[in-house]
Amino acid sequence: MGAGNSTPQTAHIVNPARAMHAIQVTPSVVNRLEKANQQISETTLPSSSKDEQMHCARCCTCGFFKGKDKEASLLAMKSNELQERQYAKTLEKLEAMLGKPVRFADVHGEHLKHLEQQLLKCYADNPREPLICSQAAKEYQNFVFQQQFKAILNAKNISTEQ
């Protein structure tokens, strides 16, 4: 697996029949394509219930199986429902252990927007020299990390005054 030593390999393929058309299709290929189209048009899809249509509208797995294999479609629907239930249970357990997510941007939105505007203005004023804006970037980053840290401590009921 030495990708460092490998060199790209190329193969030159010469097209012996250069015609006006890029691809030449034989009559047997045309016949096979016509037969496949005819079989597809003759196949009728079974009508589905309202619930199945709604489920398939939001689920790509069922759309693949729809009309081809009813049992596989039902299995896919059951699997998706099970996954959704398991996800909801896991989310509830995590929220019970860690607490609900805290949106500090809602609480400190004004100050956060002010720092963000300062940083963006600095980058706009100095397009080719981003290091000039390092102090504004540090202020923004420190504020965000401080708020996240405080939110974690509050969620765990730990005081910062020790």
Question: Which pLDDT value is given to residue 20?
Answer: 55
123: Cβ–Cβ under 8 A, 6 or more apart, which residues? Answer: 130, 133
CA-only gyration radius of the chain, Å: 30
Q: Which helix (H) or strand (E) holds 147?
A: helix 134-155
Question: Tell me: the pLDDT tens digits for 14-42?
Answer: 666 665 555 677 888 888 888 888 887 77
The highest-confidence range among 8-12, 29-33, 93-97, 126-130, by mean pLDDT, is: 126-130
The domain ranges of the chain are 47-98, 104-155
The highest-confidence range among 22-31, 36-45, 65-74, 111-120, by mean pLDDT, is: 111-120
The better pLDDT of the pair 70, 90 is held by 90
Asked which of 58-62, 100-104, 131-135 is least confident by mean pLDDT, the reply is 58-62
